Structure 1
Amino acid sequence: MLIRLTSKDNRVLKQVRSLSKRKYREVYQQFVLEGKKAVAEVLAFGANPQFLVVADSFVAKPDWDPILDKAMERNVTIYQVTDALFAGLAQTEEPQGILIVVGKQECRWEDLIFQTKPFWVVIDGLQDPGNLGTIIRTAAAVNVDGLILTTETVDAYNPKTLRATMGAVLRTRLMQKVPPPDVIRRCRERGLPVVVADPRGAIPYYQWDFTQGMALVVGNESKGPSPIFCENAAAKVAIPMPGQIDSLNAGVAASILMFERVRQQGNITPFLV
């Protein structure tokens, strides 16, 4: 169904604008993805599309026809607006003229414990949305069994985070707002060691066995992880840095550590500094 909207005060457009704030993303249990690639991924990969908003200028492009066909096939409502109205909805500096509102599909603990030796990545208190987006994209690439965000962590559906994920949030088993004690309790129940990323850690990361089940904890950019994780850590692993830098940003560090699991499982020769 294609519906023309002409007023910025329309209920649908107000709802889209409200989703720029975490409060309303949680109220509606929805988020917004912008751009033709993100929209095509949502429609193709079985996510939970709610509705599309498209600008007049995008409808005139050849890119529109396959998206229209897929939206019709999935019975997704389409709202068409002027370019000026669309500009009032967009969160990007150079909007492409198309966005999709998607229903959240966050996991429960029951969804994360199907593996015998699960690999969980716990993000504790991270505040930079770009760093979190990088971590989410890497987690999808590595195929982690669960990405767990604790209560003080930035929202995975923050617009800046979503842009950094480039749609990978749709392919990640994700939980949000999880209290750290709950993570520790679940790890104990599963017999999973808690491994904390710490630039002062005693163990170089490549000396730890990443092929076993584990919960890898990456903490706040400046403060590190919550004390409860450090107190219950089976190991604190560090990334050796021979240069005159004492830490990496969280997105880079987490990516190195996650791909160490891939390297060890694939028996690939490491590059060691």
Structure 2
Amino acid sequence: MITSASNMQMKNLVRLQKKGRARREQDVFVVEGMKMYREAPREFIEKVYISKSFSEKAEAGELLGGRNVEVVDDRVFQSISDTKTPQGILAVIRRQHYTLEQVVGGEKPLVLVLENIQDPGNLGTILRTGEGAGVTGIVMSADTVDIYNPKTIRSTMGSVYRMPFCYAEDMDQVMRNLKQKGISVYAAHLKGSADYDAVDYRGSCGFLIGNEGSGLSERLAAQADGYIRIPMCGEVESLNAAVASAVLMYEAFRQRKS
């Protein structure tokens, strides 16, 4: 049993929780809790850590049979956890890699293109909602928050394992790629001339979603096939990025299933 926070494995787990660079260099990320462990692809699980108190539960043996497991003193486990009330199980997962072709390919794709999203919770919620709404892939600009940030991972509720995604250095190339594939892309924009539910999304299409504070850059928005808007009452100008994404994704979902 690991009883010291000075243990090299414990120090590395803290680095993985806090540093995107460490996650990139080791090509892994950390998940916490029963749900995130249960849903993780078995072949991507590198190692599992459980608290001493969790190891004494009847479900531990059934859940962890045959796994490479380290038992950690409860106090030390608390120090490596990113949550205030850890469930007693934490796993190191190998990162999955998708090409742009995998993310935007397929038959009749529905794609999200995210530019400079900065809030980890927003990004995680977008992934989770995207899976629910039938989105086939998500492309993110290089300056978007790290998808493997612990807060993002928790917000995905497991969707990070199943939703194809990639980061792109050259968003102009992404747009050219989408157009070459016949994917119509609509920018969620305050200058939108059409209400979001007045456009046909039954074919191959995608949505551009911009930064929480400043929206889409003019350069990227100008490459869209059209600007769409979500009507607002009162003095509200715009919705939270995750909420706006959900509205658009579920309108496409509604149209496609009818």
TM-score relative to the length of structure 2? 0.94
CA–CA distance in structure 2, aligned partners of residues 129 and 154 of structure 1: 6
The answer as to whether partners of 2:114 and 2:141 remain within 8 angstroms in 1 is yes
CA drift at 1:215: 2.4
The answer as to whether partners of 1:153 and 1:177 remain within 8 angstroms in 2 is no
* 2:36 equivalent in structure 1: 38
* 2:111 equivalent in structure 1: 120
CA–CA distance in structure 2, aligned partners of residues 200 and 232 of structure 1: 14
* 2:25 equivalent in structure 1: 27
CA–CA distance in structure 2, aligned partners of residues 104 and 95 of structure 1: 22
CA drift at 1:145: 1.5
CA drift at 1:185: 2.1
CA–CA distance in structure 1, aligned partners of residues 249 and 42 of structure 2: 26
The answer as to whether partners of 2:168 and 2:174 remain within 8 angstroms in 1 is no
- Counterpart among 119, 128, 134 of residue 137 in structure 1: 128
Q: Could you give the per-residue CA deviations for residues 188-246 of structure 1, whole angstroms, max 9, x where no partner exists? A: 32122221111331110001111111221100011111222211111111111123311
Paired residue total = 257
CA drift at 1:47: 5.5
Q: Could you give the per-residue CA deviations for residues 29-82 of structure 1, whole angstroms, max 9, x where no partner exists? A: 11111011111111xx4461110010001112233232112xx1xxx3111110
The answer as to whether partners of 1:6 and 1:82 remain within 8 angstroms in 2 is yes
The answer as to whether partners of 1:205 and 1:257 remain within 8 angstroms in 2 is yes
User: Cα–Cα, structure 1 residues 6 and 102, in superposed 2: closer, same or farther, change >3 Å?
Assistant: same
* 2:60 equivalent in structure 1: 64
* 2:181 equivalent in structure 1: 190
CA–CA distance in structure 2, aligned partners of residues 35 and 47 of structure 1: 18
The answer as to whether partners of 1:51 and 1:77 remain within 8 angstroms in 2 is yes
User: Cα–Cα, structure 1 residues 186 and 169, in superposed 2: closer, same or farther, change >3 Å?
Assistant: same
* 1:10 equivalent in structure 2: 7
SS at match of 1:19: helix
The answer as to whether partners of 1:194 and 1:229 remain within 8 angstroms in 2 is no
SS at match of 1:63: helix
* 2:49 equivalent in structure 1: 53
CA–CA distance in structure 1, aligned partners of residues 201 and 43 of structure 2: 31
* 1:270 equivalent in structure 2: none
Give yes or no for the alignment of 1:156 onto 2:147.
Answer: yes
The alignment's C-alpha RMSD in Å is 1.5
Structure 1: which 4+ aligned runs deviate by more than 6 Å? none
> Where in structure 2 are the equivalents of 1:75-224 lying within 5 Å?
76-224=67-215
Quick one: which amino acid aligns to residue 139 of structure 2?
A: I
* 2:228 equivalent in structure 1: 237
* 2:245 equivalent in structure 1: 254
The answer as to whether partners of 1:180 and 1:228 remain within 8 angstroms in 2 is no
Q: Could you give the per-residue CA deviations for residues 129-181 of structure 1, whole angstroms, max 9, x where no partner exists? A: 11111101011112312111111111111111111111211111011244312
CA–CA distance in structure 2, aligned partners of residues 176 and 77 of structure 1: 31
The answer as to whether partners of 1:194 and 1:216 remain within 8 angstroms in 2 is yes
CA–CA distance in structure 2, aligned partners of residues 103 and 177 of structure 1: 20
CA–CA distance in structure 1, aligned partners of residues 14 and 45 of structure 2: 17
Identity %: 34
The runs of 5 or more residues in structure 1 that have no matched partner are 268-273
Quick one: which amino acid aligns to residue 169 of structure 1?
A: V
SS at match of 2:161: helix
CA–CA distance in structure 2, aligned partners of residues 19 and 261 of structure 1: 37
